[in-house]
Structure 1
């Protein structure tokens, strides 16, 4: 007979998987203070009931959460995003050639760059970044074309990829919907992830900008794996255990301190 505690735990596992997209055995074991074998039995039962789908090392929700439009994300964690943007800007040298991804945190970096770095060349698929830098002194601006995604206010697809194949950059600053030590960085669809991976390959340094709520989150199922030498720029509210797991994968971690009112 299944106990009430076990039933409640399994309902919580389903809820966590729906919130984050993925649920790992080790994370669930620590969260519920039960053995990994107990979690594996829970996942097996939930999979048999058709409520989760098994993955290597865990399970995932059968239905991914809806992607939030960029204009709604822009108003979230604004202090953390400004602090992350300010810290990331210190890694940009005068006259550098940089690549800015889509996303609200990267758009905050574009805003921070205006008039702050001399002679920088910026290439981006993001209309938000273009609007932030239009008319900015000392910025040479190039916009990648392609298929327009209204949810992210950015261009993706073969045309953007073809243009990137003919360029190289000193650094790229990537946005993301979630950060996992195990899986990498995630986005809502494969086109976005394909573009991020190509951006990273064409750049000497790779920076991932993500505020604390995204660290350990896995809302979608399209992933770009971590590569040695990448840098995560996040804020001081991020989970220390998640950050330690990232460092163990040779990811540099930079912590920004949001302003206090």
Structure 2
């Protein structure tokens, strides 16, 4: 049976994971003045008991987040997503070929591209297809695969095989969260894998994420993209989160939703 101090420490670890989204081994060891091996043992026991899920370097509480559907996310941070999408559209030149990921913020970008001319959009997102299906100046190529209803996007081996046959000038990815270490988080491992492959197929990589998604990693699936890549966020992003990403070598663009790009 664990001592009272051990039990208190383990309970505090779960609380910290809930509050911060991620508890790192080294940080926990320093906080509780114990060795990293003690913390790793705590995490292993808490995982076995179903309180947390292990992640790269730490843990998240299993019950802290549940994945919402794309429809539920459409109205969240609407102004920020619109501004991010509008700025991202300015980074796309005529005659470019771009890869668009799933997600509501990427969907906001797609809406900004309806008036484009000579543009080719490759996507696995039904939202993007719907936004651009009647845009006369845009050629839409859809990656097939298995439909994941919660994200309204395709993924799996067929999607990945199709990606191997294309390249793009730029890719615009969505995300459920970006850790301070620059790791991109999703609820599904295949979704993360698809983002990684999309990034490999493009010359420029942008991740679109409104401010509340910085500094959090709500799910257990993640990928660390190779530099260089750019986060496009809004002015609600905490300054310390922006600074942490920049310290990792990630370019961060902070868009003011009250300003219309020229």
Q: TM-score range by the shorter chain?
A: 0.7 to 0.9
How far apart, in 2, do the equivalents of 1:244 and 1:11 lie? 30
Asked whether the 8 Å contact 1:124–1:144 carries over to 2, the reply is: yes
How far apart, in 2, do the equivalents of 1:182 and 1:170 lie? 26
2:194 aligned residue: 195
Asked whether the 8 Å contact 1:68–1:151 carries over to 2, the reply is: yes
Asked whether the 8 Å contact 2:196–2:225 carries over to 1, the reply is: no
How far apart, in 1, do the equivalents of 2:114 and 2:197 lie? 26
1:257 aligned residue: 256
Alignment of 1:65-80 (within 5 A): 65-80=65-80
Report SS of the residue matched to 1:218: coil
Report SS of the residue matched to 2:105: helix
1:135 aligned residue: 134
Q: Structure 1 residues 224 and 42 mapped into 2: Cα distance closer, same or farther (>3 Å)?
A: closer
Q: How far has the Cα of 1:2 moved from its partner?
A: 6.3
Alignment of 1:241-252 (within 5 A): 241-252=240-251
Q: Structure 1 residues 146 and 19 mapped into 2: Cα distance closer, same or farther (>3 Å)?
A: farther
Asked whether the 8 Å contact 2:43–2:54 carries over to 1, the reply is: no
Asked whether the 8 Å contact 1:125–1:145 carries over to 2, the reply is: yes
How far apart, in 1, do the equivalents of 2:55 and 2:146 lie? 31
2:172 aligned residue: 173
Asked whether the 8 Å contact 1:236–1:257 carries over to 2, the reply is: yes
Q: Which moved more, 1:52-61 or 1:95-104?
A: 52-61
Q: How far has the Cα of 1:93 moved from its partner?
A: 0.7
How far apart, in 2, do the equivalents of 1:112 and 1:61 lie? 37
Q: Structure 1 residues 54 and 73 mapped into 2: Cα distance closer, same or farther (>3 Å)?
A: closer
Q: Structure 1 residues 194 and 135 mapped into 2: Cα distance closer, same or farther (>3 Å)?
A: same
- The CA deviation string for residues 9-28 of structure 1, in whole angstroms up to 9 with x for no partner, is 96565245246653235777
Q: How far has the Cα of 1:182 moved from its partner?
A: 2.0
Unmatched segments (≥5 aa) in structure 2 = none
How far apart, in 1, do the equivalents of 2:56 and 2:122 lie? 37
Unmatched segments (≥5 aa) in structure 1 = none
Q: Structure 1 residues 46 and 201 mapped into 2: Cα distance closer, same or farther (>3 Å)?
A: closer
Asked whether the 8 Å contact 1:20–1:219 carries over to 2, the reply is: no
TM-score (norm 2): 0.85
- The CA deviation string for residues 205-229 of structure 1, in whole angstroms up to 9 with x for no partner, is 0000000110011111111103111
TM-score (norm 1): 0.85
How far apart, in 2, do the equivalents of 1:139 and 1:148 lie? 23
2:33 aligned residue: 37
Number of aligned residues: 252
